[in-house]
């Protein structure tokens, strides 16, 4: 198994292309996005929608626009290739999909505690990408990275902590509506668990 990152990007782009097909795209989002637990009916949808177990995975291949998929695939390409090379393709595949699963599970838990009467679906590869970011920060804590925003260099360990704090604060305070902040944190949690399990079998971080 090689080039998992490339295969994931191809799969995401292919699904996004299908989402642009009139009629098909709407059906894909209704059937394969991550919905809250329960069954819901909408006046403009001819069938009920609700949570299905496969949505924990399929939702990670759907995106809400060009910017959404572009940022996710850029992050996956930028950091995923290095992580895959460091831990191997098999472990990388496990790490990515573990992050996707914990991302979806935490999102379901948070939504179940929400008082919002209108159910909303969640989709996007962000949970997996945030898991990859955390793994990169643990493997190469002293690597210097340059984010798109803000365009300043920082060490990888600082980037991971900064993203964690931003997502946690945004999720708790409800800022940046429409972004699944706890799904991002869930993705990082899944990656953290596996990285701790594997810590004795992974290459040591390079010196600062």
Q: Which residues are catalytic?
A: 126, 184
- And the tokens for 73? 């695939």
3-class secondary-structure state, position 82: helix
**Which parts of the chain are beta strand (E)?**
39-40, 49-50, 144-146, 153-155
The distance from CA 187 to its chain's CA centroid, rounded to whole angstroms, is 6
Distances from the Cα of 149 to the Cα of 70, 152, 163, angstroms: 14, 8, 12
β-bridge pairing 144-146 and 153-155? antiparallel
């Amino acid at each position: 198994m090689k080039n998992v990152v490339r295969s994931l990007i191809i799969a995401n782009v292919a699904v996004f292309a299908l989402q642009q097909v009139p009629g098909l795209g709407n059906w894909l989002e209704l059937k394969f996005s991550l919905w809250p637990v329960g069954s819901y009916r909408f006046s403009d949808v001819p069938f009920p929608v609700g949570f299905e177990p496969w949505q924990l995975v399929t939702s990670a291949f759907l995106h809400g626009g060009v910017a959404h998929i572009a940022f996710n695939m850029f992050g996956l390409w930028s950091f995923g290739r290095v992580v895959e090379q460091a831990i191997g393709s098999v472990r990388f595949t496990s790490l990515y999909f573990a992050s996707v699963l914990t991302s979806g599970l935490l999102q379901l838990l948070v939504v179940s505690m929400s008082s919002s009467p209108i159910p909303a679906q969640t989709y996007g590869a962000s949970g997996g990408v945030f898991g990859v970011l955390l793994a990169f920060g643990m493997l190469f804590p002293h690597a210097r990275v340059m984010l798109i925003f803000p365009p300043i260099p920082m060490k990888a360990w600082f980037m991971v902590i900064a993203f964690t704090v931003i997502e946690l604060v945004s999720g708790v305070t409800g800022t940046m509506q429409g972004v699944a902040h706890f799904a991002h944190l869930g993705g990082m949690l899944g990656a953290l668990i596996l990285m701790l399990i594997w810590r004795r079998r992974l290459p040591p971080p390079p010196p600062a």
